[in-house]
């Protein structure tokens, strides 16, 4: 057990030295594997690597990423933002409301946090700055809207979590839906109240730049809404509906989604060989990164278990006298802390195989616990100082938007995510009611 106890400190030391996560996991796994298996360590580690590489469910990940990459280039995002602004622009905080609404819809289409945030940020930042929104509210709104890619299905992280925890992808996605809706409503409510308490007066002449949605005839609004939302919701229904109904596996549904995104790209006149090449390049790069971390993490957890890792965790839990509630709090705290040094891929990969046996043994609903973990991971995206969402935003933000403003902007949304977590703890049916009624209907 001493070797298992040293594996995590060694892993964090390598990561902090700047070694990529996948290579850090592999180095520690090989070292611990040699201690546990001796000369046959590489045969054992290869078996773990091979099982991860041939996992059928994980093959959905590249298709979901390709779907998001094609949608990013299809022009749908820009048109969707304009439609949301038509309907919400006149409300208090209207542009921020439109940004969250667009983030929610696009998260359901793309399923990748970074892609959603960059897309909405590129369009929303100039519009909101012209309308004299504060930089803190702009940053918080964009980061919160982008982070919805974690909680709104179909989500890449949900596919990976379900595969590792050996639970139904459809049940997990169904379990995420109501908590995600609660979170979106809380975000919208906060922004609306902020708009009421701190109204923004647009500059004269902003109407020429699209800030007078009431001047657009109702007929034109309805036509624009139908032409944008019907294809997007059709794509979401085709992907998510086929999974929940049990008609298609996640991999098949993801392939349908990628094909639908390609058709939307063609229909909007944005398709070209260069667009296809760039989308495929992004897909290969992100998929290779995720799947290499998955394979390396599987090796790491195999070596951890072989060196008595499960017994070590059990001794910690039993030694602290933890009941089910304390154990859940402890596990969620670990996930949250690891989010400061690991990306979501490594976090899920390390924690899910480690915690799932204890969760099942304690009789805790694995879907409910999975949704709790996903909310905590999403909160980690926004939590400074190592907030992935802030880093994504920093890469596209104008020079006058400072890191301090970004950190202040995300704090209210972190509180709202924690409120969603508390509501899910108090009302577990938010995650457990829907899966039993719609999956495989």
d(C-alpha 161, C-alpha 221), whole Å? 40
Say what the pLDDT of residue 262 is. 92
Residue 222 in tokens: 């309805």
Please tell me the predicted confidence (pLDDT) of residue 136: 93
Residues 6+ apart with CB under 8 A from 115: 68, 69, 72, 149
Task: Provide the domain count of the chain.
Answer: 1
Q: Which residues, at least 6 apart from 329, have a Cβ–Cβ distance to it below 8 Å?
A: none
CA distance 174 to 439: 7
* 52 neighbors 294 (Cβ within 8 angstroms): yes
Retrieve residue 387's tokens.
């907030």
CB 57 within 8 A of CB 254: no
Q: What is the pLDDT of residue 212?
A: 53
pLDDT at 181: 95
pLDDT of residue 17: 87
- For residue range 160-169, list pLDDT tens digits in order: 899 889 898 8
- What is the residue-averaged pLDDT of the chain? 84
Cβ–Cβ < 8 Å for 111, 64: yes
pTM: 0.83
What's the mean pLDDT in 90-95? 86
Looking from the CA of 77 toward its CB, the CA atoms found within 13 Å total: 28
Contact in structure between 9 and 304 (CB atoms under 8 Å): no
Q: Identify the weakest region by mean pLDDT among 34-43, 268-277, 362-371.
A: 34-43
pLDDT for the residue 36 = 80
- Cα–Cα–Cα angle for 338, 342, 343, nearest 5°? 120
Label residue 327 left, alpha or beta by phi (over 0 means left) and psi (-120 to 50 means alpha).
alpha
Q: In this predicted model, what pLDDT tens digit does every residue of 327-363 receive, in sequence order?
A: 999 999 988 887 776 667 778 888 888 889 889 988 9
pLDDT of 221 reads: 82
Q: How far apart are CA 26 and CA 14, in angstroms?
A: 11
Q: How confident is the model at residue 203 (pLDDT cuts 50, 70, 90)?
A: very low
Q: The domain containing residue 177 runs over which residues?
A: 2-438
The predicted-structure confidence for 34-78, as pLDDT tens digits, reads as follows 888 787 777 777 777 777 777 777 788 888 888 878 877 777 777
SS (H, E, C) the chain: CHHHHHHHHHHHHHHHCCCCHHHHHHHHHHHHHHHHHHHHHHHHHHHHHHHHHCCCHHHHHHHHHHHHHHHHHCCHHHHHHHHHHHHHCCCCCHHHHHHHHHHHHHHHHHCCHHHHHHHHHHHHHHHHHHCCCCHHHHHHHHHHHHHHHHHCCCCHHHHHHHHHHCCCHHHHHHHHHHHHHHHHHHHHHHHHHHHHHCCCCCCCCHHHHCCCHHHCCHHHHHHHHHHHHHHHHHHHHHHHHHHHCCCCCHHHHHHHHHHHHHHHHHHCCCCCHHHHHHHHHHHHHHHHHHHHHHHHHHHHHHHHHHCCHHHHHHHHHHHCCCCHHHHHHHHHHHHHHHCCCCCHHHHHHHHHHHHHHHHHHCCCCHHHHHHHHHHHHHHHHHCCCCCHHHHHHHCCCCCCCCHHHHHHHHHHHHHHHHHHHHHHHHCCHHHHCCHHHHCCC
Q: Quick one: which of 236, 230, 277 has its CA closest to 110? A: 236
Question: pLDDT digits over 295-305, tens only?
Answer: 888 888 778 87
HSE on the CB side for 273, CA within 13 Å?
A: 0
Structure tokens at 357: 């046996």
Whether the CB-CB separation of 144 and 385 falls below 8 Å is answered with no
């Amino acid at each position: 057990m001493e070797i298992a106890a040293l594996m995590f400190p060694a892993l964090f030391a390598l990561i902090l030295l700047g070694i990529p996560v996948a290579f850090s996991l592999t180095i520690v796994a090989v070292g611990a594997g040699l201690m546990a298996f001796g000369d046959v360590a590489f045969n054992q580690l290869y078996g773990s690597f091979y099982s991860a590489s041939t996992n059928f469910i994980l093959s959905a990940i590249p298709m979901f990423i390709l779907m998001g990459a094609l949608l990013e280039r299809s022009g749908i995002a820009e048109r969707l933002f304009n439609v949301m602004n038509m309907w919400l622009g006149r409300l208090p905080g209207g542009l921020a409301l439109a940004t969250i609404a667009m983030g929610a819809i696009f998260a359901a289409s793309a399923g990748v946090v970074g892609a959603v945030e960059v897309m909405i940020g590129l369009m929303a930042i100039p519009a909101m700055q012209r309308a004299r929104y504060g930089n803190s509210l702009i940053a918080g709104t964009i980061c919160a809207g982008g982070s919805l890619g974690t909680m709104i299905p179909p989500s890449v992280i949900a596919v990976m979590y379900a595969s590792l925890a050996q639970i139904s992808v459809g049940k997990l996605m169904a379990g995420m839906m109501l908590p995600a809706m609660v979170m979106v409503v809380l975000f919208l409510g906060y922004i609306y109240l902020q708009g009421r308490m701190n109204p923004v007066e647009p500059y004269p002449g902003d109407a020429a730049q699209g800030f007078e949605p009431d001047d657009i005839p109702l007929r034109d609004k309805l036509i624009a809404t139908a032409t944008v939302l019907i294809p997007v919701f059709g794509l979401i229904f085709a992907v998510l509906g086929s999974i929940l109904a049990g008609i298609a596996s996640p991999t098949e549904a993801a392939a349908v989604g990628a094909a639908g995104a390609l058709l939307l790209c063609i229909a909007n006149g944005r398709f070209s060989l260069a667009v296809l090449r760039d989308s495929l390049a992004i897909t290969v790069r992100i998929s290779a990164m995720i799947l290499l971390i998955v394979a390396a993490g599987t090796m790491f957890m195999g070596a951890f278990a072989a060196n008595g890792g499960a017994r070590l965790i059990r001794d910690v839990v039993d030694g602290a006298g933890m009941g089910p509630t304390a154990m859940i709090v402890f596990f969620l705290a670990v996930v949250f802390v690891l989010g400061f040094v690991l990306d979501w891929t490594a976090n899920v990969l390390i924690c899910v195989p480690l915690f799932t046996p204890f969760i099942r043994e304690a009789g805790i609903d694995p879907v409910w616990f999975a949704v709790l973990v996903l909310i905590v991971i999403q909160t980690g995206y926004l939590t400074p100082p190592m907030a992935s969402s802030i880093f994504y935003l920093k890469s596209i933000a104008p020079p006058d938007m400072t890191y301090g403003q970004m950190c202040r902007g995300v704090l209210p949304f972190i509180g709202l995510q924690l409120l969603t977590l508390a509501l899910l703890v108090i009302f577990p049916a938010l995650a457990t009611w829907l899966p039993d009624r719609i999956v495989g209907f």
